[in-house]
Amino acid sequence: MREIQEESVSTYRIDSPPPSHTSSPTSSPLPSSPLHPRHGIIQHQSDHTRPLHPRPFRVIIIGGSIAGLTLANCLAAAGIEYLVLEKHQSINALLGGLIGIAPTGARILDQLGIYDAVKDIGQEITVLRTGFPDGSGFNQTWVAEFEKRYGYGISVTSRQQLLEVLYTALGPSASETVHLGKEVTNIHHEGSGVKVLTRDGMTYFGDLVAGADGVHSIARSEMLRMAGGSASNEESAEYRIHVGLSCPVPTITPGEQIVRCYDGFAVFALCGKDGILGWFITEKLDRRYQYPNRPNHTQNDAIKFCESLADVPVWGDVTFGAIWKARTSISHALVEENVFKTWNYGRICTFESYNVDPRNIDEPELRPRGKSSHGRRRCTRKQSSPTDIVQRKQALIATDPNGIPQAAP
């Protein structure tokens, strides 16, 4: 598809009816052209230029994320036209670590005909190992029963591989419907549709915009701007996270999930296919920061923190130092927390970035606090101390026949 720079793009509504005119009986039909209005980009030729045909209904997806590409596959299966705008130059940019796929997500992938390909690159989790600050710990094997009960197990795979599978499933047209290097800067309602502008000067027209661009969502920011609100006073952060991938580490085998809790931080490790280790560390900050005020942490800060944990036991004889030495990548970020009050406005919706809800390792208790504007009961997190965590886990062991107490040296 040939794209036209913004200065040569007409802002005429491409779904407006064509001007009335008389056609000659010998007139030939409009030939297929990159400038056909179905592409949503129209070259300005004169003040009287108008599209000759209304284009199909189109959804513009901002973000070629897992959620964004999954939505693209859903729309393709339903015969609905879509366009994905991804800011990175590669669909599988080296970001993040291993991704867990629960039975609920696996069922959707199966309905799209993608699950078998995802299962081939994934590793089923068969045992959960949990350790606590006092040195105690236990194993749980009930996770291995998920496939029998739900038809799908819990599996992990790398984010990059999953994105490749989702992209490939779109078929040969993916190169035309997924546009890379397209960082969205502005969104505008225009007539009965929406207009999306990118940093490289392109303009795209559609009927709906779906935001799948993560925590720092431009789709959400633009939506709130139009709605007269702001996200800056809603988000807060009390933790930061360090995420990495490592080569296989002896004694940690594929299918293991390890969580080791300490005062002020916790270490998570997931062992995927061929022993590839995905890990992340949640670190509690000195206080809760309310946006727009936020601490400025650098990559060097993240490296220094991880290096300081070299002697920290993870499970058995394995220390975090062994995992750190085998690392192949590392990244870090603040862990924002919020459920935004505004999920949609006009023709813009946020189906992935409305809920910034990290799953804290201490399984925080939830207590009701009235009803939200959507009719659901709202909950707040009740912070748990390490003692509370151990007591809850001991109660779990007493009631779960698959919870096997074991020392976690």
For residue range 93-148, what is the model confidence (pLDDT) as tens digits?
Answer: 766 688 999 999 999 999 999 999 999 999 999 999 999 988 889 999 988 889 88
Give the separation between CA 215 and CA 223, rounded to whole angstroms: 14
Give me the pLDDT at residue 81, please. 96
More confident residue, 30 or 168: 168
The pLDDT, as a whole number, for residue 4 is 37
| pLDDT score at 24 | 37
Identify the band that residue 231 occupies on the pLDDT scale cut at 50, 70 and 90. low
Quick: pLDDT tens for 141-188.
988 889 889 999 999 999 999 999 999 999 999 999 999 999 999 999
Residues 117, 109 contacting (CB under 8 angstroms):
no
Q: Which of 25-29, 354-358, 373-377, 381-385 has the highest mean pLDDT?
A: 354-358
**CATH number attached to the domain at 38-43+55-126+143-231+340-357:** 3.50.50.60
Residues 6 or more apart whose Cβ sits within 8 Å of residue 214: 63, 65, 352, 353
Name the average pLDDT for the chain: 77
Tens of pLDDT, residue by residue over 272-310, are 999 999 999 999 999 998 877 888 888 999 999 999 999
Write the CB contacts of 7 (distance below 8 Å, at least 6 apart in sequence): 201
Interior CA angle at 183 toward 180 and 184, to 5°? Answer: 125
3-class secondary-structure state, position 355: strand
Amino acid at 66: I
Question: Can you tell me the distance from the alpha carbon of 64 to that of 291, in angstroms, rounded to the nearest whole number?
Answer: 26
pLDDT of residue 5: 37
Question: What is the tens place of the pLDDT at every residue in 58-71?
Answer: 999 999 999 999 99
pTM: 0.72
